[in-house]
Amino acid sequence: MKIKDNFKIDNKIYKSRLIVGTGKYKNMKECAKAIKISGANIVTVAVRRVNISDKTKPLLMDFIDPKKITYLPNTAGCFNSKDALRTLRLAREIGGWNLVKLEVLGDKKNLFPDMIETLKSTEVLSKEGFKVMVYCNDDPLMSKRLENVGAVAIMPLASPIGSGLGIQNKINIKIIRLQTKIPVIVDAGIGDASDAAEAMELGCDGVLINTAIAKAKKPFLMAEAMKLAVQAGRKSYLSGRIKKNIFGAASSPKFGII
């Protein structure tokens, strides 16, 4: 059954609600194949780690066509506002990218976002004309502040980056979704297909996945699983689930019993 259900970011509509990272794969060829299988229309690109400008080395563009797939430059590996701003300004200079993912980490062990630096950076980038999708913690108050200073998408973590622990605070994610007018995309901590489906069933607009696919024993199979999970979770959310009840409710008629 087809229903009108657009996934729009910065006034552009995307078919897939699954966003895939380009890091941690064995090579660019494996990365490109996994992305194709996933059906993703957007891929994140770590400007500080992935080669997008040195033509003497393998270029990501040779494997993933930026005319067919939207590149989302990110600031992975940045631990302060200064480095994050410089990285994204460089990305715009190299590829003309205005739609970006901001990620300012607070420490190297837990990789939680530094929300003070993140908020400050979001405001600066928005004023400079960037369309900022923001990686953040699952704090509803801070998420609203990010929206208020110009973010085009809120990307709360499910759990620590690369942990595979799944969604640890469903209540906060739900609150963020209910109070936010812009897209909410769960980012970081997804481990398997059920985690992705759960994020979508909470009403989130999309899911960003890297490690769970790239480091799976069979990354291509996992890429397909995540694709289907996101689709199923979205359909489940749109269908309007039954209310939870602590008592049983017979599915057969109560009257006319032989």
Average pLDDT over residues 247-255: 71
Q: Would residue 165 be called left, alpha or beta, if left means φ above 0 and alpha means ψ between -120 and 50 degrees?
A: alpha
Residue percentage of the chain with pLDDT more than 70: 92
- Answer whether residue 1 is part of any domain: no
Reduced to 3 states, what is the DSSP secondary structure of residue 199? helix
In a domain, 91, yes or no: yes
User: Which has more pLDDT, 258 or 90?
Assistant: 90
Asked whether the predicted pLDDT for residue 209 surpasses 70, the reply is yes
Residue 251 lies in a domain: no
Residues classed as catalytic: 101
Residue 4 falls inside a structural domain: no
**Tokens 């699954």 correspond to what residue?**
18
Q: Which of 161-188 are b and which e, b meaning 16 or more Cβ less than 10 Å from the residue's Cβ?
A: bbbbebbebeebbbbbbeebebbbbbbb
pLDDT average, residue stretch 98-114: 92
- pLDDT tens column, 84-105: 999 999 889 888 889 999 999 9
Cα 249 to Cα 247: distance, rounded to the nearest angstrom: 7
* Average per-residue pLDDT for the chain: 90
Torsion sign over Cα 123, 124, 129, 131: negative
Judge whether 5 lies within some domain: no
Q: pLDDT tens across 214-242, in order?
A: 999 999 999 999 999 999 999 999 998 88
Q: What average pLDDT does this structure show over 61-79?
A: 89
Confidence of residue 252 (pLDDT cuts 50, 70, 90): low
Could you tell me which of 79, 103, 93 has the C-alpha nearest to residue 23? 103
CATH of the domain at 158: 3.20.20.70
In a domain, 257, yes or no: no
Number of structural domains the chain divides into: 1
Residue 229 lies in a domain: yes
Look at residue 14 and give its three-state secondary structure. Answer: strand
> Which tops the pLDDT comparison, 5 or 210?
210
Is the CB of residue 151 less than 8 Å from the CB of residue 134? Answer: yes
Q: How far is CA 88 from the centre of its chain?
A: 18
Least confident range of 49-53, 90-94, 102-106, 173-177: 49-53
256 or 97, which is more confident: 97
2 lies in some domain: no
Per the structure, the complete domain to which residue 61 belongs is given by 11-239
pLDDT confidence of residue 96: 86
